[in-house]
């Protein structure tokens, strides 16, 4: 009889125990996509994960014995994360969202949903896709389910997103070194509210801030972004407040929702209101102090400086076509200008690494000839050829690597003293290993030119000097050059000397009180 006791115990108690855990879904699609780029994003770019695969995206949920795993019955639906890019096709959006909604339908009911998004998705012919997504999720799960949304601080918060989510937060660091910490917080707060019986926050304060700035001016490494974002955690830590967040917003899309925003959630109305107003007024009061994270100039100025400098490696950001902000990543203009310079023809000239340009034609030809042989082929300007045509590259193949998730095949072609990384598909180069894998040594190079905005941490740490080149492309850093038609006006700094905006709290209703 003894050995049957534990069995009976398990049979009797495990369902009861399981019922006491909240049932939580994980769902969301994330991309930052520029409407000023001719590029289009298709479904495969999202590398969607389904069901149990979803856990693999999150270190704090990955292991079966991760502390947060045991606190809920997890029902992961679909998570899709794309590199930034062009506007998502309607077909890709509907297909992915359709699978997400089907999965939610199949596995319900739910107590909570963790809605993990970026917040700056653009879809052909559809405004505010994240608002559309959450409304369609609500139609399936109902208004009572607690939804916790985690976002990038470069995302946009529309009124319908603010109304339909219960908890909401975003990163507090740019570059986003706190990305996983933010997601974990969104999950932890969701589980807390589900298990402590408090449920939906009593108050959600939303303040749209009519400021639109590029991420390259709002890094939290330097002022005034540093102090502004440093104020978020103390605001959120107060009793009666659940979370607080500031969104810089996304500057390369043209919709009414593209602007900065503040949100604070909590149960103490006065504290929620005061915290939201303080953060919004802080943002407004420092609006004139935002500068680019590095000295800027046109490309000629940056190359002249780098060639003359004694400091190496000298980094130059080819910022207008930054693929991690939504540029096509295949604008050839900058590389064309570099290859025209005589200094790089001379084998005693400065060494330069260019990262990178997609060129499936050249990659194919390099695969045929192999390392150590000369190759000639076309690269770039298949998507964004507004500034320069496809580039004919002729040089020695020094490396070929296969298997990268984004690039698929990477080839290094040496032209004079310039090592050009050519990829089959576009890929951002953010880490030292991205270069060393290809036999390149960025620390030993005189100049490194990267399609990037602000340097990611590893590159930032190795730079001897750095200039941000204001090059043309779908994410032109000079916002005055962009043809906005639909953003709200007036908008700082596009409209100079605008009057002080209304920075009072807009109280957002909970989804179960919406009509």
Q: List interacting residues with Zn ion (CB under 5 A).
A: 152, 154
DSSP for 458-490, written as a single string: HHHHH-SEEEEE---STT-S-GGGS---SS-SS
Q: Residue 282 Cβ, how far from Zn ion at the closest point, in Å?
A: 20
What HEC string does 341-376 produce?
Answer: CHHHCCCCCCCEEEEEEECHHHHHHHHHHCCCCEEE
Closer Cβ to Zn ion, 454 or 466, answer by number: 454
Q: Residue 222 Cβ, how far from Zn ion at the closest point, in Å?
A: 16
Helix (H) / strand (E) containing 325: none
Closer Cβ to Zn ion, 350 or 453, answer by number: 453
Closer Cβ to Zn ion, 115 or 250, answer by number: 250
**Phi, psi (rounded to 5 degrees) for 406:** -90, -50
Cα first-last separation, the chain? 59
Closer Cβ to Zn ion, 30 or 112, answer by number: 30
Q: Residue 171 Cβ, how far from Zn ion at the closest point, in Å?
A: 7
Q: Residue 290 Cβ, how far from Zn ion at the closest point, in Å?
A: 16
Token readout for 31 is 């991309």
Token readout for 357 is 């340009």
Q: Residue 67 Cβ, how far from Zn ion at the closest point, in Å?
A: 27
Q: Residue 220 Cβ, how far from Zn ion at the closest point, in Å?
A: 11
Find the radius of gyration of the CA atoms of the chain: 25
Q: Give the CB-nearest residue to Zn ion.
A: 154
Helices and strands counted in the chain (H then E): 14, 22
Closer Cβ to Zn ion, 152 or 476, answer by number: 152
Nearest Cα to Cα of residue 249 among 105, 139, 153, 353: 153
Q: Residue 214 Cβ, how far from Zn ion at the closest point, in Å?
A: 11
Is residue 338 within 8 Å of 449, Cβ to Cβ?
A: yes
Q: Residue 120 Cβ, how far from Zn ion at the closest point, in Å?
A: 8
Closer Cβ to Zn ion, 154 or 185, answer by number: 154
Is residue 156 within 8 Å of 257, Cβ to Cβ?
A: yes
Closer Cβ to Zn ion, 154 or 200, answer by number: 154
Closer Cβ to Zn ion, 152 or 343, answer by number: 152
Q: Residue 34 Cβ, how far from Zn ion at the closest point, in Å?
A: 13
Q: Residue 323 Cβ, how far from Zn ion at the closest point, in Å?
A: 13
Closer Cβ to Zn ion, 154 or 282, answer by number: 154
Instruction: For residues 328 and 112, give the distance between their C-alpha atoms in angstroms, rounded to a whole number.
Output: 37
CB within 8 A of 379, min separation 6: which ones? 332, 357, 358, 359, 361, 362, 390, 391, 393, 420, 422
* Helices marked H in 108-209: 129-141, 159-164, 179-195
SS3 percent helix, strand, coil of the chain, rounded to 5, is 35, 25, 40
Instruction: For residues 431 and 429, give the distance between their C-alpha atoms in angstroms, rounded to a whole number.
Output: 6
Q: Residue 25 Cβ, how far from Zn ion at the closest point, in Å?
A: 25
Instruction: For residues 64 and 515, give the distance between their C-alpha atoms in angstroms, rounded to a whole number.
Output: 40
Is residue 289 within 8 Å of 222, Cβ to Cβ?
A: no
Closer Cβ to Zn ion, 32 or 128, answer by number: 32
b/e code 90-117 from CB counts within 10 Å (16+ = b): eebbeebbebbbebbeeeeebbbbbbbb
- Kind of pairing between the strands at 167-170 and 85-88: unpaired
Q: Residue 152 Cβ, how far from Zn ion at the closest point, in Å?
A: 4
Closer Cβ to Zn ion, 262 or 338, answer by number: 262
Q: Residue 176 Cβ, how far from Zn ion at the closest point, in Å?
A: 6
Token readout for 503 is 């920075």
Closer Cβ to Zn ion, 116 or 152, answer by number: 152
Token readout for 241 is 């407040």
CB within 8 A of 3, min separation 6: which ones? none
Q: Could you give the 3-state DSSP secondary structure of residue 510? A: coil
Instruction: For residues 409 and 407, give the distance between their C-alpha atoms in angstroms, rounded to a whole number.
Output: 5
Instruction: For residues 51 and 45, give the distance between their C-alpha atoms in angstroms, rounded to a whole number.
Output: 18
Token readout for 276 is 């939201």
Closer Cβ to Zn ion, 219 or 417, answer by number: 219
């Amino acid at each position: 009889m003894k050995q049957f006791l534990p069995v009976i115990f398990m049979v009797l108690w495990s369902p009861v125990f399981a019922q006491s855990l909240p049932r939580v879904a994980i769902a969301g699609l994330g991309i930052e996509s520029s409407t000023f780029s001719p590029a289009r994003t298709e479904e495969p770019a999202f590398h969607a994960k389904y069901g149990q695969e979803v856990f693999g995206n999150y270190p704090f949920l990955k292991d079966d014995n991760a502390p947060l795993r045991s606190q809920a019955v997890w029902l992961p639906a679909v998570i899709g994360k794309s590199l930034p890019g062009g506007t998502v096709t309607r077909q890709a959006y509907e297909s992915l969202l359709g699978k997400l909604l089907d999965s939610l339908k199949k596995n319900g009911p739910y107590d909570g949903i963790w809605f993990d998004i970026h917040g700056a998705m653009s879809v052909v012919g559809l405004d505010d896709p994240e608002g559309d997504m959450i409304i369609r999720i609500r139609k399936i799960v109902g208004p009572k389910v607690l939804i916790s949304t985690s976002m990038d601080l470069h995302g946009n918060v529309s009124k319908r997103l603010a109304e339909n989510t219960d908890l909401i937060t975003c990163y507090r660091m740019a570059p986003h070194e706190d990305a996983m910490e933010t997601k974990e917080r969104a999950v932890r707060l969701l589980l807390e509210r589900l298990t402590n019986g408090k449920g939906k926050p009593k108050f959600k304060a939303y303040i749209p801030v009519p400021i639109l700035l590029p991420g390259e001016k709002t890094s939290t490494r330097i002022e005034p972004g540093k102090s502004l974002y440093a104020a978020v955690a103390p605001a959120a830590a107060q009793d009666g407040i659940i979370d607080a967040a500031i969104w810089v917003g996304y500057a390369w899309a043209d919709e009414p929702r593209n602007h900065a925003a503040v949100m604070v959630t909590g149960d103490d109305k006065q504290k929620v209101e005061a915290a939201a107003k303080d953060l919004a007024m802080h943002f407004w009061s420092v609006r004139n102090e935002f500068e680019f994270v590095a000295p800027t100039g046109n490309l000629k100025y940056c190359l002249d400086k780098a060639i003359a400098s004694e400091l190496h490696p000298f980094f130059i950001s080819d910022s207008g076509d930054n693929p991690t902000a939504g540029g096509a990543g295949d604008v050839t203009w900058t590389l064309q200008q570099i290859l025209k310079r005589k200094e790089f023809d001379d084998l005693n000239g400065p060494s330069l690494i260019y990262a990178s340009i997609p060129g499936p034609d050249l990659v194919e030809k390099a695969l045929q000839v192999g390392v150590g042989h000369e190759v000639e082929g076309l690269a770039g300007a298949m998507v964004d050829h507004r500034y320069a045509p496809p580039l004919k590259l002729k040089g020695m193949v020094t490396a070929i690597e296969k298997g990268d998730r984004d690039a698929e095949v990477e080839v290094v072609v040496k032209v004079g003293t310039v090592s050009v990384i050519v990829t089959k598909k576009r890929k951002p180069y953010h880490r030292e290993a991205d270069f060393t894998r290809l036999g390149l040594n960025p620390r030993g190079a005189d100049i490194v030119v990267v399609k990037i905005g602000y340097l990611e941490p590893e590159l930032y740490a190795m730079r001897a000097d750095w200039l941000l080149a204001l090059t043309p492309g779908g994410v032109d850093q000079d916002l005055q050059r962009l043809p906005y038609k639909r953003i709200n006006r007036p908008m700082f700094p596009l409209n100079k000397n605008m009057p002080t905006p209304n920075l009072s709290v807009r109280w957002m209703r909970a989804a179960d009180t919406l009509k």
